[in-house]
Structure 1
Amino acid sequence: MSRKALVVGIDNYSGCPLHGCVNDACNVAELLKTHANGDKNFDVILRTDAVPKDKLLRDIQQLFAGESEIALLYFSGHGCKSDMLGEYICTPDGTEMSPGIKLTEITEIIGRSKCHNKVVILDSCFSGGAGNMPLLSNDKAALDSGVTFLSACDKNECAMEGADSGVFTSLLVNALKGEAADLLGNVSPGSIYAYVDKALSAWDQRPIFKTNVREFVCLRKVSPPVSCSELKQLKNFFSRPEEEFSLDPSFEFTNTPKVDHELIQPFAKSENVKKFKFLQKMVSVGLVEPVGEEHMYFAAMHSKGCRLTPLGKYYLHLAQKDRI
């Protein structure tokens, strides 16, 4: 099924121009076009001109038409709000009474969409109100199934801009490059939000994440730190989450008469050395930890052991259930 994205960045606002939105949109579009290995990802339409309201509205309607696997809208530009009008993403032809496209109008378009997954990412001021329905008490969100909103800031906050990029989108770009990927190399809206949230302090703009999904949504794949086949091997070492795997000096490849240092029996055995290298790799990605020692080398040389971390227990569960 198709994956399509509409990426919009507007700098050219009369009287109040921005400086990083076009650059942000170009960077996001380039990353969404392909996965990290070069395989095709999204069919992307990039809008970086002074797109008028009616044209942008038609683009958004067309984006969420049909039954695509996923339809993604990214917007970087001005946002505004008023008690009387509500929240908007602004277009260059906007007026005081009609600044652009109302966020509730986007929510209504998405509500009618038959696309399986609908993702909206907004880097604009006051964008945290996206997904809220004013007719509900306390301005609560009401999201249809398969809908995700990721906003740069809360509905009463401004989205900050750096020299040539928005603060939020600069983090979004790094997340899509792989800094928010899981061990399988998947970058999801949830992992992006977690990454951005940790990068911003309580004094910074606060990103907003709203979702109603029934299944995992991957926005981009990157090279995983460990392969699926390696993750599946965890069940060869641990049959239960709380089990410890025993080590001894035979697992350390330098513990051999060929290397000039103190030797400890049993000497290195090739089959154990191979297992130990695998376990050390699992340590490097946070799935395994030594028991009773700070480093795996000493755990082996002192005949201690190693065990799964909480994250390791999760991936063991996936391996045992053939979910990897």
Structure 2
Amino acid sequence: MSHISRRQFCLFTGATLASLGLGQFKIKRQAQNYGKVLAQSTPCKLALLVGINQYSSQPLRGCLNDLELQRYLLIHRFGFNPQDIYTLTDEQATRQGILEAFEEHLIKQAKPEDVVVYHYSGHGSRVLDPEPIIFEPGQEDNLNGTFVPVDSSLPTGYPEQSGTVEDIMGHTLFLLMSALPSENFTAVLDSCFSGAATRKFTVRARDGGSKVLISPQEKEYQEKWLSRLGWSREEFVSRYRQGVAKGVVLAATDPTQYAIDASLNGFYAGAFTYLLTSYLWQEDATPESAIAYAVKQIPEEFNQTPTYEVNVGSNYEDQPMYFLGSPSSEANAVITEVKGDRAEVWLGGVDLATVDQGTVFSTVDGSGQLRFVSRDGLVGEVVVEGKVEPGTLLRKEN
């Protein structure tokens, strides 16, 4: 890895892990043929993915690639219907869009037996909450963790002047997750609050601190959801302190660390998202085993320790990833388009350092072989030997 920068990841205490942000709700109807990968009708599999690179200040580079890594994995390895995956990027990821997407696509559509996945890659921050719902011991400054929508800007005159921001608090997203009808929920979080640059790394995070306050409308939105859930403040505090609201949360770091936004063999991505998704292409995993792998693979100089948390007493750490026990066959790549004797392949499950011109891939179903020609990031071009079609899974020959 080279040209490393650090994108801090906010892992708030307890249930704050359950928080994620998404942008302007937009349904993407994809007409592509994904071959033999068909979504099951029961249970329904819903995913909401967000990535923000184009912040007005402190832009990022790897978040949109994180979404593609997750999206291809869910479709081709775990059988999600492309129409049930909603991706929200850059200018779509406003505060209103984030909240609307979570409500409309997840809360209103999910049934108790459904599988729900939420992925967030973008900035986080820590801002002042003058009237915190929960006061954490030792946090006299009343700073609370937030996710940063694309339309949330620092106050005019910051840092000399204070003011409000349109961030989404971890408290708010805990409430949204609590409203989900299904326990079969997985959140993948690759973001954090702001911090200072070091000589070796650049921090990719929105600034914050005691002069940045949460907006009144964020508090009003929390009150609305407390009313909908029928919770008193005391009940909310009690639930929040117990742990994550639903399912499983996979996080890029522990609460004190930075997450890495890195240049990886010709493309940028979150180091955590890349390691997680590439592992899941090749292994039938549990949250515990997936995080254990990521911990071992993160370079020591990154000082980044991926972690997970599950709903208290659930033993979800030992359940199959995404609560889906029968994923498609293990693979390293998938065919996305075929044109004559050439094909385009997605290389999300292979170590790109081991792929050179002439590298051979074989289809999992034995229908043919493909010889690698070139690639642009994670998209490769191969010469086809045999009969193949989009959606065909591939394994790299040793």
TM-score w.r.t. the length of structure 1 is 0.57
**Secondary structure of 1:121's partner?**
strand
Q: Distance in 2 between matches of 1:49 and 1:167?
A: 20
**Secondary structure of 2:103's partner?**
helix
- Equivalent position amino acid for 1:175 in 2: Y
Q: Distance in 2 between matches of 1:209 and 1:202?
A: 19
**Secondary structure of 1:13's partner?**
coil
**Secondary structure of 1:187's partner?**
coil
Tell me the residue number matched to 2:181.
114
Return the offset for 1:201.
5.7
Tell me the residue number matched to 1:95.
153
**Secondary structure of 2:258's partner?**
coil
Tell me the residue number matched to 1:72.
117
Q: Distance in 2 between matches of 1:53 and 1:115?
A: 24
Tell me the residue number matched to 2:296.
198
Map 1:47-66 onto structure 2 (within 5 A). Answer: 47-50=88-91, 51-62=93-104, 63-65=106-108, 66=110
Preserved contact between residue 47 and residue 118 of structure 2 (Cα < 8 Å)? yes
Preserved contact between residue 177 and residue 222 of structure 1 (Cα < 8 Å)? no
Q: Distance in 1 between matches of 2:289 and 2:175?
A: 26
Report which structure shows greater RCO (CA 8 Å, sep ≥6): 2
Q: Distance in 1 between matches of 2:120 and 2:81?
A: 19
Q: Distance in 2 between matches of 1:191 and 1:79?
A: 27
Report which of the two has the higher share of strand.
Answer: 2
Return the offset for 1:102.
1.3
Map 1:233-244 onto structure 2 (within 5 A). Answer: none
Tell me the residue number matched to 1:246.
none
**Secondary structure of 2:244's partner?**
coil
- How many pairs does the alignment contain? 210
Tell me the residue number matched to 1:159.
259
Query: Could you report, residue by residue, the CA deviation over 1:272-307 in whole angstroms, capped at 9, with x for unpaired residues?
Result: xxxxxxxxxxxxxxxxxxxxxxxxxxxxxxxxxxxx
Q: Distance in 2 between matches of 1:197 and 1:13?
A: 29
Preserved contact between residue 126 and residue 153 of structure 1 (Cα < 8 Å)? no
Preserved contact between residue 70 and residue 117 of structure 1 (Cα < 8 Å)? yes
Tell me the residue number matched to 1:175.
279
**Secondary structure of 1:155's partner?**
coil
- Equivalent position amino acid for 1:94 in 2: S
How well do the aligned residues superpose, as a CA RMSD in angstroms?
A: 2.9
Q: Distance in 2 between matches of 1:224 and 1:177?
A: 6
Return the offset for 1:224.
5.4
- Equivalent position amino acid for 2:289 in 1: S
Task: Decide whether aligned partners of structure 1 residues 100 and 217 sit closer, same or farther in structure 2, where only a CA change above 3 A counts.
Answer: farther
Map 1:189-228 onto structure 2 (within 5 A). Answer: 189-200=287-298, 204-212=303-311, 213=314, 216-219=319-322, 221-223=327-329
Preserved contact between residue 126 and residue 159 of structure 1 (Cα < 8 Å)? no
**Secondary structure of 2:59's partner?**
coil
Tell me the residue number matched to 1:150.
250
Return the offset for 1:24.
1.3
Return the offset for 1:208.
2.3
Consecutive unaligned residues of structure 2, counting only runs of 5 or more, are 1-42, 128-140, 155-163, 195-234, 332-398
Q: Distance in 1 between matches of 2:253 and 2:277?
A: 17
Task: Decide whether aligned partners of structure 1 residues 72 and 172 sit closer, same or farther in structure 2, where only a CA change above 3 A counts.
Answer: same
Return the offset for 1:79.
1.1
Preserved contact between residue 90 and residue 150 of structure 2 (Cα < 8 Å)? no
Return the offset for 1:61.
2.1
**Secondary structure of 2:309's partner?**
strand
- Equivalent position amino acid for 1:173 in 2: T
Tell me the residue number matched to 2:55.
13
**Secondary structure of 1:57's partner?**
helix
Moved over 6 A (4+): none
Return the offset for 1:119.
1.3
Q: Distance in 2 between matches of 1:98 and 1:134?
A: 24
Query: Could you report, residue by residue, the CA deviation over 1:95-142 in whole angstroms, capped at 9, with x for unpaired residues?
Result: 343352212211111112211312111100159xxxxx99569x9552
Return the offset for 1:205.
1.3
**Secondary structure of 1:123's partner?**
strand
Report which of the two has the higher share of helix.
Answer: 1
Task: Decide whether aligned partners of structure 1 residues 125 and 134 sit closer, same or farther in structure 2, where only a CA change above 3 A counts.
Answer: farther
Return the offset for 1:84.
3.3
Preserved contact between residue 126 and residue 156 of structure 1 (Cα < 8 Å)? no
**Secondary structure of 1:161's partner?**
strand
Return the offset for 1:88.
1.2
CA radius of gyration, larger in = 1
Task: Decide whether aligned partners of structure 1 residues 17 and 141 sit closer, same or farther in structure 2, where only a CA change above 3 A counts.
Answer: farther
Consecutive unaligned residues of structure 1, counting only runs of 5 or more, are 128-132, 226-324
Query: Could you report, residue by residue, the CA deviation over 1:184-226 in whole angstroms, capped at 9, with x for unpaired residues?
Result: xx3333332121122236662121210023562433624259x
Return the offset for 1:28.
1.1
Q: Distance in 1 between matches of 2:236 and 2:290?
A: 27
Return the offset for 1:23.
1.3
- Equivalent position amino acid for 1:223 in 2: S
